[in-house]
Structure 1
Amino acid sequence: MPATDNQGSFLNRISIRRNQVTTMDNNHDQELEDLELFQKHVADRFSDLLPTTTTTAAAVDPSAAAADSPNSTHDVHIPPPPPPLLSISWFRNLLDAFLCCEAEFKAVLVSGRDASLFSKPPLDRLISELLERALKALDVCNAVTHGVELLRQWQKLAQIAVAGLQQSPIGEGQIRRAKKALTTLLTSMVTDDTNFGRRGTAAAANNKDRNFRSLSWSVAKSWSAAKQIQAMSANLVAPRGGESNGLAVPVYIMSTILVFVMWSLVAAIPCQERNGLGPHFQIPRQLGWAQPMIGLQEKIGEEWKKKEKKGTTGLLEEMQRMEKVAQSLVEFSDSFVFPLEEEKAAELAVQVSELAEICQKMEEGLGPLQQQVREVFHRIVRSRAEVLEVVEQVNKLSIPVPY
């Protein structure tokens, strides 16, 4: 009997051990599956943000596609083209992609995972660095929110010009009013980043324009958007060796997404002190999920290099168009002669119509964009608090109980 009992006990232990190994294998398989899906979803979301480089015949002529279709009697659904790179609509899509990636990342990192891993290398260090990047990202969100407010002020100045130049017949009074608003707008746009928000205010004061107001910053005057992005990307290193198959990978991916989104916002929207902002940060090219992000980074970097030479305040597509049209209208006002010739009047109408269109897009898009930036801010705050709570609980459990 004793021998039989021992044998049964031994077999039970083997069975329990086998179940434990099976559970660990299943958890590992699930972790790999979750990680693979996360990487695929990241790649898909950022691929959707890439501008299209080719145009199909169906996109040019929908009737041609309908004629070739066996169901040509039915309407053919042509998907709308993606918004222009660095436009307000594009940034809204980018922030949507960030929020989706962030929610999935949190599920991959926390759901069903052994929380004790958070206190072990390399996750302890990587999570700590991610939490620090999150803090810096909050400052960038704050700066971008103020930058959007400045864009709204520029929009109001442009609308003043549009209202004056749409008068018929147009006279010298309307031209002077429009030129005054546009000059203030352009003066603010070309201000260097070191004096962001201050030289624009001085220009408005010199012009006695009550429609232009300075922004009150909640960051120090020495704060630099460029240095903040540099600090966020300083320790951004892809996992190597054994780390490349574990939870270190999603932490690295989310850190890269966070830096990319903040870098893009700073490059496009007026922010305090952007001197030294690089046209890119390093992302390893061998990573499959990173290819669309690298493509976007290269395109944005090309635009940044072009605009950096001109010293203007950002890459936002609507802002670049507004600057170009405003400069042309100021030149027109300098050569204005009353009464206006018919050809000149037609040329003026085209430019004023374009400026009005830009103002309309900004009117419709800036509010929702600013709301999304705030949503990103609050999401980062909540997620950071949730991860910190897990880390603190793990640390408490690891403290030995005194007897």
Structure 2
Amino acid sequence: MRSKAPARTSGQGWLLRRLFAATLAAGSLSAVSAPAQVALKPDTPNLLFWSPDQQARWYPAMETVYQTRTIAAGDRIHALPLAGGEIDPVFTHAGKTWTVDAYMEAYKVSGLLVIRDGKVLLERYGLGRRPSDRWTSFSVAKSVTATLVGAAIQDGYIKSLKTPVTQILPELKGSAYDGVTLRQLLMMSSGVRWNEDYGDPNSDVAKGPTEGLKLAQGKPGLNPVVAYMRTLPRAHPPGTMFNYNTGETDLVGILLARAVGKGIAEYASEKIWKPYGMEADAAWVTDPGGLERGGCCISMTLRDYGRVGQFVLDEGVVDGRPILPPGWAREATTKQIDNGQAGYGYFWWMQPNGAYQATGIFGQSITTFREDRIIIVVNSAWPKSGGPDLREGRVALVTALRSAAAAR
């Protein structure tokens, strides 16, 4: 039975939602100049500082805390049959021997899923979560947004990745975005100056929400994100330098909605959720104006996270019909620019172990080993947004799970 569509709720405070979005992208717990998110209930604490109990209660129910739009599922469900026999590796990390259950308890994992060749090798839940419960994605949503850009190109709404940003968002003409392409936005390499230093009250992430709201006042139709972004100067030639830029992930969401002429939750339903066969409706957090955030917070079931990974691994082909342009999925999940680590694609992170990964703070990830056709989903409620200790623990788990899955 499908999950009921989350009710769409109301809210106010574009300013704080923008600041929340930027804070999520940087994975920082630093203090910010204003509450990070406007909640439906005034006594809701800042999401970045939720207690473990609040994480466990609200990560599965974001639509009860913030405004969302529904990504509607359809009548069909893409089967994920059991492989016949569960993997259960034991591994060593930080001088200790770990079982999967011990890892899940220590790292506050609510859901763990391993798929190989479309079959489930491991599916476990924690923190009181049930299989029908959704869980928020944080920045895993960015990878979904990039996938929808591919669908919009296939549908002819966007001509190509070479399309100038100003062609779809003419409000940016005359700014540092002149000459910047959609591809460069997806690579986070526009060359436009952006500062995400939360210790600096004059950084873009700190002052951008306030300034954008002021700049958009009295200008109907001007999105506050666009209003602020178009004031920024150029720092590098387009396409030459990776710079993680939260504002630009929102620009891509705005650009996509403008191009397709509808909300991107509706478009996600049309291009992925219904045709590919997600099992339940999803909830996409929006700003108070109802615009889904291109960079954050889709709530979906654990198996639907797996289906997102499988959809991309299948290169967006459904019943022989391409949803994405030929080669798009592989290009998006292959290194396009040096980021000082293993590389970055189109809102997908490359990993040193050869995988590509959609990643969100507090322990959300879809890790795919293309050649092995293995997908590993982890949903968590880490006690902090990130850090080497948490990431290294997840790498150890994923490595063990991959080895066990590949041996089957």
Q: Provide the TM-score with structure 1 as the length reference.
A: 0.24
Which structure features the higher share of strand residues? 2
Which structure features the higher share of helix residues? 1
Q: Provide the TM-score with structure 2 as the length reference.
A: 0.24
